[in-house]
Amino acid sequence: MTASQMSAPNHRGPIARAALAFASILVLAACVPAGTQQTASLPAPEQPAPPPLSPFVQAMRDAGVNVAIPARGKFILVNIPSYELIAFQDGAPVIRSKVVVGAAGTSTPELLSNMYAIKYNPDWTPTPSIVRNEASVYIPSGPRSPLGRLKLELDNDQAIYLHDTPQKSYFGREKRALSHGCVRVQQVRELAAWADGVSVDEIDQRIRTGRMYTERLAEEIPVYIGYYTRFPDQFDQPVNYPDVYANKDEARRAYLARAAGRRAAAAKKAAEPPAQPPAEIIPGQTAPGQTAPGQTAPGGIVVTPGVT
């Protein structure tokens, strides 16, 4: 049907005119792009404006640190070159703590994980790598535990976690790449309290029980361990930090070479026959290798008691 036919004089009957009107509606509807007949007259819903960035997060952006800090909830960032951990609450930093990270030969990896539990008065079981390279042994819970009094559990397959340490003096050093890969946190008690939503006093009370146990968090907290040599300081000013792991491959080879040397020395010692205990000398008897009085020693010398 053409447009001229639709506009012809109205000489058809009522039914024909109704059919023609309906056909006209269908043709006109076909000329309108799909979906516009419902939305063309409706205003687009307003999108809520994103919350403003905190000054520190803005400083991170300005420094080229492109970590997506969530605007809601909790988030933990560890930056290896600046030896620092930052806990964020609703997009703003609430805890900034010094950390000790892995040495160049046993470097801390970059990873995204989740904190899911707190272990109080933890024991320490060396990883297979540490056992193989350093022959370390299990250390029970207590003052000698390398994990101190708190271990913050992370869900990753590299045995990396956050923890306390009995070696508090290390936090006073400028260069703090000293661990086997895990992250030692100076303000670990404050971090645990914040993560669990309790006070530091409550954390201390749990530690004082001396009991080793694990408590799951009500909600997991994302943890990102990154590597940014340009990073804002406590005044939100960008600082250029040394490349801590610039020579990590070379350092790793040296570490493994030393470990191989220790294993070879240990194997050699284990293969040696056990030392014989000294023979017991009974009065009147001669010790092995000695000449009895009155006997002729090598060279024809007669040994006489009391004569030297």
The residues annotated with a catalytic role in the active site are: 163, 182
Q: Which two tokens stand for residue 130?
A: 């540490």
Tallying the residues shown for the chain, one arrives at 308
Amino acid at 257: A
Q: Per residue, what are the HEC states of the chain? A: CCHHHHCCCCCCCHHHHHHHHHHHHHHHHHCCCCCHHHHCCCCCCCCCCCCCCCHHHHHHHHCCCCCCCCCCCEEEEEECCCCEEEEEECCEEEEEEEEEEECHHHCCCCEEEEEEEEEECCCECCCHHHHHHHCCCCECCCCCCCCCCEEEEECCCCCCCEECCCCHHHHHCCCCEEECCCEEECCHHHHHHHHHCCCHHHHHHHHHCCCCEEEEEEEEEEEEEECCCEEECCCCCEEECCCCCCCHHHHHHHHHHHHHHHHHHHHHHHHCCCCCCCCCCCCCCCCCCCCCCCCEECCCEECCCCCC
Residues with Cβ within 8 Å of residue 175, at least 6 apart in sequence: 244
CB 223 within 8 A of CB 154: yes
